[in-house]
Structure 1
Amino acid sequence: MVRHNNQLPDNLPQLQNLIKRDPDSYKDDFHQQYQHFLSSLEVFALNPGEENKSLDELVMFIAQVAQCYPKECAKFPQHLVDLLKNHATTLDPIMRNCFVKALILMRNKNIIPAIDLLELFFQLLCCPDKNLRSFLQNHIITDIKNMNAKHKDMKLNSTLQNFMYSMLKDANPKAAKMSVDIMIELYKKNIWNDAKTVNVIATVGCFSKIMKVLVASLKFFLGHDDDEKGSDDSDSDNEVDLKGAIMQNRVNKKTKKRKKQLEQIKKQAVKAQKKKKNAPAFNFSGIHLVHNPQGMAEGLFKQLQSTNERFEVKLMHLDVISRLIGIHELFLFGYYPYITRFLQPHQRQVTRIMQFAAQASHELVPGDIIEPVLKTIANNFITERNSSDVMAIGLNATREICIRCPLAMSEDLLRDLAMYKTYKEKSVMMAARSLIMLYREQLPALLHKKDRGRLTEAQAERKIRAYGEVEVHETIPGAEALLKDSKEIDLGSEDDSDSDSNDGEWVNVSHSEDEGKNEGDNDEEDSDDDDDDEPDADESEEEDGSEDDEVDDDTSDADEEDKEHSGSESEGNVTSAKKKSLAVENSSENEGVQVLDAKEAAQELAMTRIFTEEDFKRINAAQLKKTVTNARKRPLEKDRAEFVKLNSIEMIYKKRKHDKESRLETVKAGREDREKFGWKDGRKNEHCSKTNRENRKRKNFVMMRHKARSKVKKSFRDKQKAMRKHLLHQKKMK
């Protein structure tokens, strides 16, 4: 059967549609178009720099229907690959994009393997076409993501990773930079978030001679863990949007469109609610997965000393090295003298350099190594010749370093810095007091007697660790609370501490070792020890500026407590006996009552019993009560974090200038309780009528146009003409 008026050879979209429906019936038509493609390709290869629209249409047509004729199109991808390899830079940009899109289309249909296409795309990076390079990068990331959508193909990923790593060492800077960007993006998308990817970036990318690759690799290790701060805000916004949409649907006119919109908003709210219930997923930053952090830190420090790059790149080196030292607790003693050179008030980005010094501090670094850093900050920043802001920043930086390495502070330097607690500027005064509060918790012996404050029970139980000493808990801290009577601990009542210590079955045993040592001592030694260990400073000294009053309060407190101690020596033996006799009753297993030490009893309790959630609540409440008893109303929490926040160094207690938004908020807040003086139109009574002049403003302009014309001011010439006309008219009337 011969088809008359056959327009299929000229109408490729129609032929494409028919082939996808019935490939066998239109096989001859496809074969004809394929032969036409081969002949057009030979002609195009003679002059690849010119655009050929017919070839463009044929390539896209064959790529669309290639899955219907796999045998006939077996060599079609290779024709395009060869053309791109041989004429990558000389091809017309439109034709080159056409060939690339055709190959990507066939890759999405699994006609071409991923490795072959990746090799070609990385070779195309030498083309001077930025849009093409970004397009290829997005395709590679999307393709690898789709291959690992259902399950991770470890064999394929390993092959692709090895190819990426080889491209990272490529001499072409564009190819190396693109491979780094792809690996970093795949790590962020949790596709290649393994230690192999991280360590290749650490060993190859961070030491690359190509500056763009080096900077991208350093930025990768400077990335924090993603804290979803806006999750709560977004959830609350979704709830508000849902309530608003429901309210609008009640008030507005009912239409199908609005009904669909309301259903979509409800679905989104349900999804957001499901996300809330899901368990949170934690992604560690890449710096935790480095296999050889010590070697990486030493290599980066050596590279930093020999580089002549701009200052921003040096800051990146310093930041990465400080994080490696702080997180992995490394030893790199040459880092601290190097960073000391930049600690000057006029230095650019000096607060960030202080941040790096704090991040590189940890407990295993000897205090003699970090002490020169503290002295440099004290000499260059914490002096009265500088402004108050500079002094406060220096004290804040000193505090952040001492949080991580308290042994770096010497006694003389600490007492000198503590004298700024009565400084005239509030920013300096508050920074000095924060340093005093830190050492009240860590090493109160370094402070002056009047600055130590009253010890809490938690501080009294805390053991001051020497350099390199590790605190090992033999039992759960605070398990002694379970040995007391099963009554609730009320943190809000002030008399609770006295009732627990006197009426309870067990009392605080934090000083049992000291009492055992002092049993054989004479009365004079006991009184001396009590005077030395006596807390002498109240919390009120932080608010009072005079030191003489503080000393008087200290001596009076010490005298009163000495009298109480001397009058209760006879009762001391009884209380010490109670502290040492701890009874554990268990009617089913133990028939008698054993007298044990409190720690041994708590340890045995932890070994023989599974603690419930209620038990842990009691332990936490007892531990919290120890931080409040006999001291400040709120406990000081100074836990060592992985990264130092720049805000903790730059934070200055100072009244800042308000911006426009905050000023408007204060203005509106002041207007809330104020009486209204009138309305915008001048009426003091809202129920009175308006004047004709006010009503005229509301009318349409067309209605008032004739009156607006008469109010236009005349020029001097028009006035002369009008006057002359008026005078002539008067003469005629006479």
Structure 2
Amino acid sequence: MEKIQANNNKLPSNLPQLQNLIKRDAASYTEEFERQHSVYAATCVIFEQNPTIYNEQLHQMVMFLAQDKNLRKFLKEHIVTDIKNMNSKSKNMKLNKELQNFMCDMLTAKHAVAAKTSLTVMIELYNKRVWNDVRTVNIIASACFSKITKIMVAAMKFFIGKDHEAEVESDSDSENENVVMKSAMMTAKVNKKTKKNQRKLEKVKATARKNEKKNRIKANFDFSALHLIHDPQNMAEKMYKRLEKMNERFEVKMMTMNLISRLIGVHQLYLPNFYPLVQRFLFPHQREVTKVMVFAAQAAHAQVPPDDLEPVLHTLANNFVTDRCSSEAMAMGINSIRELCARNPYCMTDDLLQDLTQYKTHKDKGVMMAARSLISLFRGKNRELLAKKDRGAPTEIHAERKQEKFGENKALSYIPGAEILTFRAQADDDRIEVSDSDDDEWSDVQNSHDEAKGKIANEQDGDIEKVYTSKAALKEVMKLSAEERAARATDVVSSRFLTDADFARIAAAQAAKEIEKFSISNKRKSKKRKLEDEEKLESEEIVSLKSIEMIYKKRKHDKEARTGTVVAGREGREKFGYKKSHINPDASTSNKIKLKTKNFMMLKHKIAGKHKKSFREKQIKLKNALLKQKKNYK
């Protein structure tokens, strides 16, 4: 027994012990390492002579030398480069499948270093777009349930981290944005050059940029690795059960919560037990509470019942949006409520919303802006929950959209805004040159008298077809009711193929609807007049007194007529302004009233002496008074 123990302590034959000693003190065991390296070189020469026979000594020597970090790094880079070169011209599906099976076996191996290396290789190949398929993603997803913490964290970081696909941005989005901008600029140049139209143009530009940004973010996010998971519901449930029993560090728990919330939000899963778990961490003193707020917002989507999200919403309001909290905590609480309601507005109640909107006049700017952003969100989501004074003026886009209830999903049979295509437009690009520069100067527009009016009549096959400019076409669209727009858009979509230019016109029309205020009075008047004309044509046999007395007058839009109306309304009305306090108008006024009529230069010296003195000035004045008083006593 003593003989066997003495042989185990010999360094040349006990490689694990030598490996441990080299890790602790590498300089003292340089000779032993060089000796083993020479043995490794000799064993390699023997193996090259007959590579088909398994050599156990070579296997032990390789495992001994593989503990070197530089060697492991070199081998990993070599594997990645080799697989990348094999798939450079065309993907070798058979070889890739064999290698993926090998990597999957290595992930379940007992050797932690080998499993971690295989996971790193697969992640790197996915990021280099060599193995960016469904199989690779699901193999990496299986590593999220590893018992080794390093492997689990690396797999979760892969799904949580920034996706490399999102870094590539196409130029088509900027081209579509330029088309919408050109259409808006052209409409503004034909219009009157007023400040109101200029402000409207700026709003159209901002709306177009916002819509294009939303579309670009959505298009980039659609390529995320989270979308390639086979069974996201099962994965989220397993990770939640593991999170409840997890004894890892707080950072690992937060990472697990982040991944679960992303799975719920991306795939619209239903995991009701997750929301009470997040609710336990929503306190101002909680460590990294802002991340927990993000997780709560990520896990919300339109398919979650409002009963599950209402407790989270009330917890945020009660723990953060109170006067006993700091202004930073209040602003964060309102912002997190806004992000949650942006994904599921059905969980908000009118009482809570109206309480939160009262902070729009808060003295802190952050709280004030957060409350105003919440108001602007619900102006588009559900205006009825807001107080009447906070709803704002309704726009044309609000008149088209109808408020949906929870679980309701209305599929449209048309493209909103396609009704603009029923009004034939001119080739404005041939007549108007739009500058791509950012200057706001107006340029001259070369158009005819008919173009300025907005309509041109062209004779084609004996029929007269009206051709509209963009300005006139938008005016005609605004005159239509929501039902008429839907009918026209349905006819257009079902009868023709749409081009890029058509989609650009639709985007411009939708942007104009978001700015144009909704006015039902014009629609009612035009509809009423149309019905009266129809009744007049149908009842020509009987002449009524109403048809005689009905006189259509043109409204007076000139300045003199408006001024006369204003002056006439002031007659018999008390004069606005300061009312004298004394009863007798002939009596003299007080000195205080007389000061108001004097020149400012006469009162400058008096006003200057009334400024509030600083604390230092008061100290000096008190010191001088005390010194003077002491001097007089002497």
TM range (shorter): 0.5 to 0.7
CA shift, 1:394, in A, is 0.6
Give the structure 2 partner of residue 478 of structure 1. Answer: 417
Give the structure 2 partner of residue 449 of structure 1. Answer: 388
In the TM superposition, 1:230-269 aligns within 5 A as none
The one-character-per-residue Cα deviations of 1:534-588 (angstroms, maximum 9, x if unpaired) are: xxxxxxxxxxxxxxxxxxxxxxxxxxxxxxxxxxxxxxxxxxxxxxxxxxxxxxx
Q: Distance in 2 between matches of 1:85 and 1:468?
A: 62
Q: Distance in 1 between matches of 2:118 and 2:502?
A: 54
Larger radius of gyration: 1
The one-character-per-residue Cα deviations of 1:134-184 (angstroms, maximum 9, x if unpaired) are: 222222222222222222211111111111111111112112111111111
Within the alignment, does 1:316 sit opposite 2:288 as a pair?
Answer: no
Give the structure 1 partner of residue 179 of structure 2. Answer: none
Q: Distance in 1 between matches of 2:109 and 2:486?
A: 63
Counterpart selection for 2:310 from 368, 371, 374: 371
Q: Distance in 2 between matches of 1:355 and 1:51?
A: 54
Q: Distance in 2 between matches of 1:361 and 1:281?
A: 21
CA shift, 1:344, in A, is 0.5
Give the structure 2 partner of residue 332 of structure 1. Answer: 271
The one-character-per-residue Cα deviations of 1:343-396 (angstroms, maximum 9, x if unpaired) are: 000111100110011110000001111111111011110011111111001111
Give the structure 2 partner of residue 212 of structure 1. Answer: 150
In the TM superposition, 1:609-624 aligns within 5 A as 609-624=496-511
* Alpha-carbon distance change, 501 to 229 in structure 1, aligned in 2, over 3 angstroms: closer
Give the structure 2 partner of residue 197 of structure 1. Answer: 136
* Alpha-carbon distance change, 502 to 469 in structure 1, aligned in 2, over 3 angstroms: closer
Amino acid across the alignment from 2:328? D
In the TM superposition, 1:29-40 aligns within 5 A as none
Within the alignment, does 1:224 sit opposite 2:224 as a pair?
Answer: no
The one-character-per-residue Cα deviations of 1:571-614 (angstroms, maximum 9, x if unpaired) are: xxxxxxxxxxxxxxxxxxxxxxxxxx543333222222222333
CA shift, 1:301, in A, is 0.4
Within the alignment, does 1:507 sit opposite 2:483 as a pair?
Answer: no
Within the alignment, does 1:290 sit opposite 2:243 as a pair?
Answer: no
Q: Distance in 2 between matches of 1:498 and 1:195?
A: 47
* Alpha-carbon distance change, 437 to 506 in structure 1, aligned in 2, over 3 angstroms: closer
CA shift, 1:429, in A, is 0.7
Q: Distance in 1 between matches of 2:417 and 2:87?
A: 48
Counterpart selection for 1:606 from 493, 502, 505: 493
Within the alignment, does 1:394 sit opposite 2:281 as a pair?
Answer: no
Within the alignment, does 1:341 sit opposite 2:313 as a pair?
Answer: no
Q: Distance in 2 between matches of 1:173 and 1:47?
A: 22
The question of whether the paired residues in 2 share the 8 Å contact of 1:225 and 1:283 is answered with no
Amino acid across the alignment from 2:347? A
Deviates more, 1:476-485 or 1:414-423: 476-485
The question of whether the paired residues in 2 share the 8 Å contact of 1:483 and 1:506 is answered with no
Counterpart selection for 1:468 from 407, 432, 446: 407
Q: Distance in 2 between matches of 1:54 and 1:375?
A: 67
CA shift, 1:443, in A, is 0.3
Amino acid across the alignment from 1:214? M
In the TM superposition, 1:562-573 aligns within 5 A as none
Aligned residues: 410
The one-character-per-residue Cα deviations of 1:429-457 (angstroms, maximum 9, x if unpaired) are: 11000000100111000011111010000
Amino acid across the alignment from 2:490? Q
User: Unaligned stretches of 5+ in structure 1?
Assistant: 1-44, 64-71, 97-123, 233-279, 513-596, 632-734
The question of whether the paired residues in 1 share the 8 Å contact of 2:419 and 2:492 is answered with no
Counterpart selection for 1:629 from 516, 527, 531: 516
Deviates more, 1:315-324 or 1:153-162: 153-162
Q: Distance in 1 between matches of 2:414 and 2:474?
A: 25
Give the structure 1 partner of residue 290 of structure 2. Answer: 351
* Alpha-carbon distance change, 83 to 384 in structure 1, aligned in 2, over 3 angstroms: same
The question of whether the paired residues in 2 share the 8 Å contact of 1:484 and 1:506 is answered with no
CA shift, 1:293, in A, is 0.2
CA shift, 1:79, in A, is 7.6
Amino acid across the alignment from 1:223? G
Give the structure 1 partner of residue 57 of structure 2. Answer: 83
The question of whether the paired residues in 2 share the 8 Å contact of 1:340 and 1:373 is answered with yes
The question of whether the paired residues in 1 share the 8 Å contact of 2:420 and 2:474 is answered with no
Amino acid across the alignment from 1:75? Q
- Quick one: percent identity of the two aligned structures? 47
User: Unaligned stretches of 5+ in structure 2?
Assistant: 1-11, 16-31, 172-218, 435-439, 443-452, 455-468, 519-634
SS in 1 for 2:145: coil
Aligned alpha-carbon RMSD (Å): 3.6
Give the structure 2 partner of residue 131 of structure 1. Answer: 70
The one-character-per-residue Cα deviations of 1:273-300 (angstroms, maximum 9, x if unpaired) are: xxxxxxx999923211000000000000
Within the alignment, does 1:305 sit opposite 2:244 as a pair?
Answer: yes
Q: Distance in 2 between matches of 1:505 and 1:303?
A: 57
The one-character-per-residue Cα deviations of 1:678-726 (angstroms, maximum 9, x if unpaired) are: xxxxxxxxxxxxxxxxxxxxxxxxxxxxxxxxxxxxxxxxxxxxxxxxx
Q: Distance in 1 between matches of 2:298 and 2:50?
A: 58
SS in 2 for 1:206: helix
Amino acid across the alignment from 1:210? I
Q: Distance in 2 between matches of 1:144 and 1:229?
A: 23
Amino acid across the alignment from 1:157? N
**TM-score in terms of structure 1 length:** 0.51
Q: Distance in 2 between matches of 1:502 and 1:222?
A: 45
Amino acid across the alignment from 1:509? S
Counterpart selection for 1:155 from 78, 91, 94: 94
Amino acid across the alignment from 2:412? H
In the TM superposition, 1:641-680 aligns within 5 A as none
* Alpha-carbon distance change, 614 to 193 in structure 1, aligned in 2, over 3 angstroms: closer
* Alpha-carbon distance change, 413 to 154 in structure 1, aligned in 2, over 3 angstroms: same
The question of whether the paired residues in 2 share the 8 Å contact of 1:482 and 1:615 is answered with yes
The one-character-per-residue Cα deviations of 1:412-443 (angstroms, maximum 9, x if unpaired) are: 10000010011111111110000001001110
